[in-house]
Amino acid sequence: MSNFQEKLQKGMFEGPIMPIIIKIGIPILIGHLLNYAYLIINTYFISLINPTSSAPLSGTGLLFPLFFVFEAIASGLAVGLSTTTGRLIGEKRFNHYQNLGVTGVVIALLLTVPFMIMCYAFGPQIINLLSGDKLSLEATVYSLQFLYSLAPGLLFIILLQVYGGILIGEGLTYVTAISFMIMVTLNIVLDPILIFVLDMGVAGAGLATTISLFMAFIYLIRFIHKGKSRIPLTFNFAHFNGKIAREIIRIGLPQFLMTASTYIIIVAYNKMITNTFDENAMNAWILVGRIDQILVIPMIAIAGAMTVFISQNYGRNQLDRIKEAFNLSLRAIMILCSIIAALYVLLSPWLFSIFTSIAEVIDLARKQVLIVSFTFCFMAITWIIASFFQATGKPLPAVIILYIRMIIIFSIGLYLVYVQKMGMNGIFISMAIGNLISCLLSFLWVKKRLKSLKFKSILE
């Protein structure tokens, strides 16, 4: 164990809490900022394919919900593995470390390979399912090209998060941040070469992403193979452990369902927008969706750090330390999200003009930011509470709350758009109300859980 790991391990179970949360959280923040940078850079290069048309962005943007579904699967596996790893470390169950990697890989392959085959076998049908009848033929062609070139990368999204989740569970979040840096740097280099120099267009953007993901995955494998992690690298399938697999799925599946609830909203609203409004409305919705990631990053970083901290301390039966950390994290996330939302509103006119010169698109995007962005603080609190439930082995309440949020958003959105005829404003308002109500519900539920918190071994 390195000096960094020894200090990290000591700080996890004793001493000030916020420094260790920051030490774990900053690399997660950097990693997701880099992932956010990838989304913006990719959007920028795709927009240059035809700056006078919305088709390249609309066509590729149509597939981002699909891309995010795989990120949701990856996130579920990562959280399941990081929580399981953290609790095993907390309980000092060293003999089970070797089971983690192989068990995660088996689950990943079973989830990913069949869908990759479906992408190539039923590509046009998938595009038709995701799009509405008002999407242009040009945008549909772009969408199909992007799907075929991106499909192999879906496997590496999952595998990257399998080993990343294990390292995060150890507290080695800086390693995953480096892997993101590799991915973004390669993508910046490859995008202009494949899109413009080799004249591959949208397909070049998808292929650049696939290659970048593969190289980031190779970096993580090499790090573990060199013995820098306490979790050994093994591809011996005899080390597959059914109990650990069930625990990973028990924690990871609710995480997938929670993340998927957000993407279900995006897919449903994509369908509504393309069927009800014009391509400019879809363009604005996609642009804001990409840039909204900046508001989600602090939530992910603190929630990820809390998952590691709580899971290891829960495994060590340090319940009072968990409660103190939980209260500190709520205050931190509210301050961070409020500051970022204010900056987002102020900078939005300049920000959206970088990607489009269409006045209607910029106006709709600015309106969405003004109505929705500050309520992301409530969404952030909900996700911090969800990380607490997951790390203590009780993920179901968070799932229920987020699906109540989804139902509220859909119900209010349909009413405001089709009954009150409020147009895109109805969609924006429904998102804001859903964020607020789900936060209130989650806060009431977690108060009850904190009062009855008791230790339970991970393999009982």
What pLDDT does 2 receive? 60
**Both structure tokens of 295:** 């508001």
Q: How many CB atoms neighbour CB 18 within 10 A? A: 13
Cβ contact 417:272 at 8 Å = yes
Residue 110 belongs to domain spanning: 3-451
CA distance 430 to 411: 8
Residue 216 placed within a domain: yes
What is the total count of domains within the chain? 1
Per-residue pLDDT tens over the stretch 107-129: 888 888 888 898 888 888 888 87
Question: Letter for the amino acid at 314?
Answer: Y
Residue 432 placed within a domain: yes
CA distance 348 to 351: 5
CA angle in degrees (0–180, nearest 5) for 411-345-337: 75
What pLDDT does 215 receive? 95
Tell me the backbone φ, ψ of residue 444, rounded to 5 degrees: -65, -40
What pLDDT does 1 receive? 54
What pLDDT does 56 receive? 83
Residue 457 placed within a domain: no
Residue 459 placed within a domain: no
> Exposed/middle/buried for 313, CB within 10 Å: 0-12, 13-18, 19+?
buried
**Both structure tokens of 165:** 């989740």
Query: What DSSP assignment string belongs to 376-403?
Result: HHHHHHHHHHHHHHHHTT--HHHHHHHH
CA distance 96 to 244: 9
Residue 456 placed within a domain: no
CA angle in degrees (0–180, nearest 5) for 157-161-165: 175
Residue 160 placed within a domain: yes
Report CA torsion sign: 244, 27, 9, 386.
negative
Q: Is 343 helix (H, G, I), strand (E, B) or coil?
A: helix
What pLDDT does 190 receive? 95
User: Distance from CA of residue 331 to its chain's centroid?
Assistant: 22
Q: Please state whether 53 falls in left (phi above 0), alpha (psi between -120 and 50) or beta.
A: beta
What pLDDT does 119 receive? 86
- pTM: predicted TM-score of the whole model, two decimal places: 0.79
Name the stretches of the chain with pLDDT < 50: none
What pLDDT does 132 receive? 62
Q: At what angle do helices 424-451 and 396-414 cross, to 10 degrees?
A: 160
Q: What CA–CA distances, in Å, run from 285 to 57, 211, 352? A: 11, 28, 11
What pLDDT does 91 receive? 83
What pLDDT does 415 receive? 93
What pLDDT does 187 receive? 92
Residue 460 placed within a domain: no
Cβ contact 85:74 at 8 Å = no
What pLDDT does 97 receive? 72
